[in-house]
Amino acid sequence: MNDLRRLASAFAVMLYSMLILIPIGLATQRLILVTGPNPYDWTKSLSENYISQNVLEFTLVQAVSSTLLTIIISLPIAWYLGRHRWPFESLIRTVLTLPFVIPSIIAAMGILTIVGPYGLDIRTNENTWWWTLIISHAWFNMALIIRFCEPLLSKLDPALEEQLRLLPHGRTRASRFKNLWVPLLLPSVVAAACMTFVFSFTSFALVRWITVRDNTLESVMAEVSSSAGIQGYMEPTSDIVMGASLIQFTILLTSLWLTSVIQRDRKAILPQARPEHVRKPNSPGWLVIVPALIFAVLPLISVVIGSFRIRDLGESGAGFRWGTDGWNQAYHGSFSFAPMSEAILNSLGYAAITILVALPLGYALASTINDLEKRSPNLARLLDVFTMLPFALSAAMVGLGVLLGIIKLDVSSAYQFWALPSLAHIMLTTPFVVRIMLPAIRSLDNSYDENARVLGMGEFSRFIKIKIPLLKGSIIISSIFVIAMSLGEFGASFIVAKNSDWTTMPLLIDAWRAKPMKDPLSAPASNAVATVLMLITMGLFMFAERFRNNRDGGMF
């Protein structure tokens, strides 16, 4: 690696470290001034405060349950999708993985519409809240199982299975499943399960809206964030934040380290064949694929329906009528609610800043990890986990870090700086760029670069004219994901931007829904904004799907 690349790598690592560590460090310092430095006191405070009691148990149990249900629902889908041929296959795959990129606040609105009084009408029964949450998490995360498993299933050379059929341990379907498919799929399933666990563990919007009185560590941090870090005022909230952060960080870091190890070890070379040889048509498989498709789109359709359906109190009681009043309300806004156009512009602005920083930074970090893997594998692994740190920190912690950290620097200028939420978005999206770019960089054929070097092309020219074109697909996918994630980011923005004059689309959705429900237009207006955000996100995702390459083996 020459000096220029070393310099670029060092700069990228340093910048990323500063982005992550400075706000978090400042916030931690401010909180410790209130709580004291004893981690035992922090964690003990969770059980000593009413608002945070049983939060850890609830978070763990719902995350584990969500992970198990996600695997149960998604594995059959991945199996049939991967092992058989389907008409409109690309569209089916896109629809089934769409839930993952849909912002969780939209999922929450759609699911509330389904379980509410004009849907299944099960909301009044407390016993349904738990299952609604778990099923929502499964809906949200099923794309992970499908993405991780389907490429392997669709390209594994059928000769392996045919050979096993001849052997004593492969004569029955069950034995082939146990001796071939389980060992092959287990790493992918475990890696996907770890990520599902991480996303379910840090769930905020779905927990906030679907459960009525429960909190995860993430949502309780968000709820108490407004009074954290103030000496002599509501000091227990600072203890709750530190305790929840420490526990969440430890559990998530462990999960992410495990994912990293498994993903790296998934590079094992397996005999592959063209999908046309591997996959056969399967009519009974429609019994799995069709319900899966319905499951995937139902919350999204209900958001759109909910934007036109308005509660109407007539003489015979509560009913509803159809109209565009909710759209009108959302479009025009009021003194208390920004117009939709303002939220869209803010969201697009933050997304633009985020991608301008996260994309090159993420690429540089991925490139650095790849270079280090050849020379110093342990350091590479360390850097790999370090880049995933914002996952372990979670959106609420990042938001709190940005809020308290920047306040510590300058309380006034921080809140006159419109782009402040972008800092949180950059911290949260850069790891995704690394996760997408790293497998692509790993799979680059270096011979192109080496030949160009032999022919006298300079480092920068080779980067622009060889590496970038070869990585074009992954770059576009990264860009789309960064934009989609920034547009849909809720947890960090809830803390940073909610108390400012700059609303984003997810915050506007939440604000409309949280308005006391005497106003029959609250829910339709919320769903209207959610519909717009959903359509933008779907458009971006479907565009990105054209560039996805199964062979990369990446998460996305």
Enumerate residues 339-398 that contact another protein by CB under 8 A: 345-346, 348-349, 352-353, 355-356
Q: How far is the CB of 512 from another protein (least distance, A)?
A: 11
Near another protein in 83-102, by CB under 8 A: 90
Question: With binding defined as CB under 8 A, does residue 323 bind another protein?
Answer: no
Which of 177, 178, 156, 176 lies closest to 166, judged by CA? 176
Residue of the chain from 4, 313, 379, 535 that contacts another protein (CB under 8 A): 313
Angle between helices 522-545 and 104-115 (to 10 degrees): 130
Question: Would you list the DSSP string of 165-184?
Answer: HTSGGGSSHHHHIIIIIHHH
Count interface residues toward another protein (CB under 8 A). 73
Near another protein in 532-551, by CB under 8 A: 546-549, 551
Near another protein in 237-276, by CB under 8 A: none
3-class DSSP state for residue 314? Answer: strand
Which of 386, 323, 359 lies closest to 527, judged by CA? 323
Region near another protein per CB under 8 A, out of 158-166, 240-248, 389-397, 493-501:
493-501
3-class DSSP state for residue 310? Answer: strand
Residue of the chain from 334, 378, 446, 447 that contacts another protein (CB under 8 A): 334
Question: In angstroms, rounded to a whole number, what is the distance separating the alpha carbons of residues 291 and 295?
Answer: 6
Near another protein in 123-162, by CB under 8 A: 123-124, 126
Closer to another protein by Cβ: residue 43 or 500: 500
Closer to another protein by Cβ: residue 69 or 523: 523
Near another protein in 202-221, by CB under 8 A: 212-213
- DSSP label at 466? I
Q: How far is the CB of 7 from another protein (least distance, A)?
A: 25
Question: In angstroms, rounded to a whole number, what is the distance separating the alpha carbons of residues 396 and 486?
Answer: 14
Q: Which residues are bridge partners to 272 per DSSP?
A: 156
Q: How far is the CB of 522 from another protein (least distance, A)?
A: 9
Residue of the chain from 29, 38, 47, 163 that contacts another protein (CB under 8 A): 47
337 neighbors 508 (Cβ within 8 angstroms): yes
Near another protein in 63-82, by CB under 8 A: none
Closer to another protein by Cβ: residue 68 or 444: 444
Q: How far is the CB of 146 from another protein (least distance, A)?
A: 17
Letters for 399-438 (x = contact with another protein by CB under 8 A, - = none) are --------x---xx--xx-xx-------------------
Question: With binding defined as CB under 8 A, does residue 233 bind another protein?
Answer: yes
Near another protein in 503-522, by CB under 8 A: 511, 514-518
Question: With binding defined as CB under 8 A, does residue 314 bind another protein?
Answer: no
Question: In angstroms, rounded to a whole number, what is the distance separating the alpha carbons of residues 200 and 5?
Answer: 38
Which of 387, 478, 384, 390 lies closest to 427, judged by CA? 390
Near another protein in 443-482, by CB under 8 A: 448, 452, 455, 457, 465-466, 469-470, 472-473
Question: In angstroms, rounded to a whole number, what is the distance separating the alpha carbons of residues 419 and 406?
Answer: 12
Q: How many CB atoms lie within 10 A of CB 457?
A: 16
Question: In angstroms, rounded to a whole number, what is the distance separating the alpha carbons of residues 135 and 279?
Answer: 30
3-class DSSP state for residue 313? Answer: strand
- State which amino acid sits at residue 309: R
Q: State how far Cα 538 lies from the chain centre.
A: 15
